[in-house]
Amino acid sequence: MSKKESQNDIEKEQLETVENETVEVDEQVVEEQSVEDKLQEELKLEKDKFLRLFAEFENYKRRTSKERIELFKTASQDVMVSLLPVIDDFDRAYAEISKTEEKDLLKGVELISNKLKTTLQQKGLEVIEAAQGDVFNADNHEAITQIPAPTEDLKGKIIDVIEKGYKLGDKVIRFPKVVIGQ
């Protein structure tokens, strides 16, 4: 072999190795890009999952705080409902004792009744007003019975209030029980 041929062979080999190295470098760049793309995609998925989880947790916190506030507002509802018949009894006793001439007894019942009512009002209990002659509203009153109206102007109106209605905060715990005219 001549020097030229051997030099050409060497150059060809070098050219081939350079080309091979270029192809390998290109493949590595493509591999690195694909790995980088995969990692970017995984990062996007994890970010999305994190944001959804965070939003769900915020909704949970908001919902439980609303429930807690509602619970505190009406925590004493059972006690209040069980005391309503006692208040009714005090009102009936007051009405009967006021017919007699025992003023000291009347004063004692009145003091105890007022103290109980004041204490319950401080805890959020309110009386729902329903008076004789008011228009009957099925959303605000509970009709016990209907009787013939004594006069024409009392038709469809409240004739008598059997039991007072009460609400605790914004929630009605007992509707007023009324008799309406027909």
Asked if pLDDT for residue 30 goes beyond 80, the answer is no
**pLDDT digits 0-9 by tens, 31-51:** 667 888 889 999 999 999 999
Asked if pLDDT for residue 136 goes beyond 80, the answer is yes
- What's the CATH fold of domain 77-181? Nucleotide Exchange Factor Grpe; Chain A, domain 2 (2.30.22)
- The order of strands in the sheet holding 165-168 is 125-128, 165-168, 171-174
Q: Are 179 and 145 in contact (CB under 8 A)?
A: yes
Tokens 């080309």 sit at which residue?
A: 19
**In the chain, where are the structural domains located?**
1-73, 77-181
Whole-model pTM: value is 0.59
With cut-offs at 50, 70 and 90, classify the pLDDT of residue 122. Answer: very high
